[in-house]
């Protein structure tokens, strides 16, 4: 799995699982097009507007003023840059939560580490409220097919919300 696929997988599930939370994407890894001079001018403009190198790939704004910064890496192969290590130290010194992650379970764990069971349960219940009265899916949902038992899906999601 690539870092890009890891991020896309997390973002698609996160948006469904935690719709009340805010997810912020860093532009650090964004591919720039154009000539070398045009790319350099774009980065220079971004820096004048406040862009900093080393920012984590994703930031989650959760209830109660909690911010969780996730630096994603290719599973088993990612290494932080000097700028990323410096940014991690700065954020942690300010009391923010920073994680270097290369898999989905660690990303869900990072959220669980800094949210309450009550908040996670509310998000879980909100997700499954749409299936109220149903025993099985009437249409596909995420990677589940029509006819999948709602209880089976809940069983799959409880560990993601750290509700067991």
Which CATH number belongs to the domain containing residue 62 in this structure?
3.40.1350.10
Q: Do both 121 and 78 map to the same domain?
A: no
pTM, 2 dp: 0.84
Q: Do both 108 and 58 map to the same domain?
A: yes
Overall domain count for the chain: 2
Q: Do both 139 and 66 map to the same domain?
A: no
Domain that holds residue 31: 3-115
* 134 or 30: which leads in pLDDT: 134
Q: pLDDT class for 109, splitting at 50, 70, 90?
A: very high
Residue 57, C-beta contacts closer than 8 angstroms, at least 6 positions apart? 3, 7, 25, 26, 28, 29, 70, 71, 72
Radius of gyration from C-alpha coordinates of the chain: 18
- Per residue in 125-147, pLDDT tens? 998 998 888 999 888 888 899 99
Q: 13-43: b or e for each residue (b if 16 or more CB lie within 10 Å)?
A: bbeebbeebeeeebebeeeeeeeeeeeeeee
Q: Do both 45 and 71 map to the same domain?
A: yes
Provide the token pair at 70: 């996730």
Helices (H), 18-129: 36-48, 82-93, 104-113, 117-129
3-class secondary structure, 141: strand
Whether the predicted pLDDT of 2 surpasses 90 = no
Whether 102 and 6 have beta carbons less than 8 Å apart is answered as: yes
Q: Do both 65 and 94 map to the same domain?
A: yes
Q: Do both 139 and 106 map to the same domain?
A: no
Q: pLDDT class for 51, splitting at 50, 70, 90?
A: confident
Q: Do both 77 and 25 map to the same domain?
A: yes
pLDDT at 28: 67
Mean pLDDT across 113-133:
92
């Amino acid at each position: 799995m690539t870092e890009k696929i890891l991020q896309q997988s997390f973002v698609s599930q996160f948006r469904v699982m935690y719709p009340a939370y805010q997810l912020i994407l860093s532009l650090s890894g964004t591919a720039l097009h154009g000539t070398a001079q045009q790319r350099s001018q774009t980065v220079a403009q971004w820096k004048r507007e406040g862009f900093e190198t080393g920012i984590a790939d994703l930031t989650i704004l959760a209830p109660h003023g909690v911010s969780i910064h996730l630096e994603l890496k290719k599973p088993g192969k990612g290494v932080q840059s000097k700028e990323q290590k410096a940014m991690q130290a700065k954020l942690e010194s300010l009391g923010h939560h920073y994680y270097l992650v290369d898999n989905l379970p660690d990303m869900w764990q990072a959220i669980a580490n800094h949210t309450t069971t009550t908040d996670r349960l509310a998000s879980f219940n909100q997700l499954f409220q749409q299936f109220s009265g149903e025993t099985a899916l009437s249409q596909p949902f995420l990677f589940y097919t029509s006819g999948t038992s709602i209880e089976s899906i809940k069983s799959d999601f409880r560990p993601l919300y750290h509700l067991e």
